[in-house]
Amino acid sequence: MHIAVTGASGFVGKRLVQTLEAAGHTVLRLSRDVAKDLRPETAVDSVVHLAGEPVSQRWNDAVKQRIRDSRIAGTRKLVEAMARLHQPPRVLVCASAVGLYGERGDTLLEETAAPAKGFLADVCKGWEAEADKAEGMRVVKIRIGLVLGRDGGALAKMLTPFRLGFGARLGSGKQWMSWIHLDDLVGMIVYALESDAARGAWNGVAPHPVTNAEFTRQLGAALRRPAIFVAPEFLVKLGAGEMAQILFFSQRCVPAAPLAAGFRFQYPELGPALRSVVG
């Protein structure tokens, strides 16, 4: 297949491009100027949309606007560019995020769960709505959780303090964390490209979410380091500002749609997933 990818230089995009090219696919790396890259005569079978301003940074009005624009306006521009192609792609796989669900306590969240309200949830809703405007294509929106990989993402930021023995749960540690191994996320994207059964919203998470306390314990165990400290919620929010809310949202998501479509995980359990990354 000829596959166009936005965000190809990012944490997930790099691994996806490597995987696609190793499988014999031709990859077109799209820049932010998608209208320039996708000229009417460009021929692509599928598009994967991963680009977006990082959420994990201190928020202010300007940062929030960049986050909003990169996802909502960015997806709109991509869909418009695809519509101008002489032969539009058959499939659009668009990243989204579990931030759509907001704070949900212990509720088990399948893809049919109602979205929340608030900044991140509203961004995700607008993001997905723009993807759904891709006419004549099979659209898959993957709501991605915490991605576990060696070379980037949130886990990379955690490793140094944990390796030094300063691993800490966040607040009460009772909040649920929906995670996925990088290899499984890339595999899910490839499966969504190739399987006609893949369509609509998919939770891009492993089948077994864990609480923050359990995640902290298992990461310490994988690194063979103690993880006995507590990072008080007020202190984390003082340091990270409004963005810190995403660290304390409880989102107990499960991948009902991918499993129903036949996708199988390499790393359904957290322990083996962490050991494969840090071992």
CATH homologous superfamily of 2-278: NAD(P)-binding Rossmann-like Domain (3.40.50.720)
Question: Over pLDDT 70: what percentage of the chain?
Answer: 100
Distance separating alpha carbons of residues 190 and 264, to the nearest angstrom: 12
Q: Is it the case that residue 236 has pLDDT exceeding 90?
A: yes
Distance separating alpha carbons of residues 1 and 45, to the nearest angstrom: 6
Q: Is it the case that residue 17 has pLDDT exceeding 90?
A: yes
Segment 168-178 shows an average pLDDT of 97
Segment 232-239 shows an average pLDDT of 92
Overall residue count recorded for the chain in this entry: 279
* CA 54 to chain centroid: 11
Segment 40-44 shows an average pLDDT of 96
User: What's the confidence (pLDDT) of residue 279?
Assistant: 79
Over residues 239-277, the pLDDT tens digits come to 899 999 999 999 999 999 999 999 999 999 999 999 999
Calculate the average pLDDT of the chain. Answer: 96
Q: Is it the case that residue 152 has pLDDT exceeding 90?
A: no
State the residue for tokens 């320039």: 36
Tokens linked to 27? 């990859």
Residue boundaries of the structural domains of the chain: 2-278
Tokens linked to 212? 């923050």
Q: Is it the case that residue 151 has pLDDT exceeding 90?
A: no
pTM value is 0.96
Q: Is it the case that residue 154 has pLDDT exceeding 90?
A: no
State the residue for tokens 């014999």: 24
Q: How confident is the model at residue 169 (pLDDT cuts 50, 70, 90)?
A: very high
Answer whether 120's CB lies under 8 Å from 167's CB.
Answer: no
Q: How confident is the model at residue 133 (pLDDT cuts 50, 70, 90)?
A: very high
Distance separating alpha carbons of residues 21 and 164, to the nearest angstrom: 38
Segment 22-32 shows an average pLDDT of 96
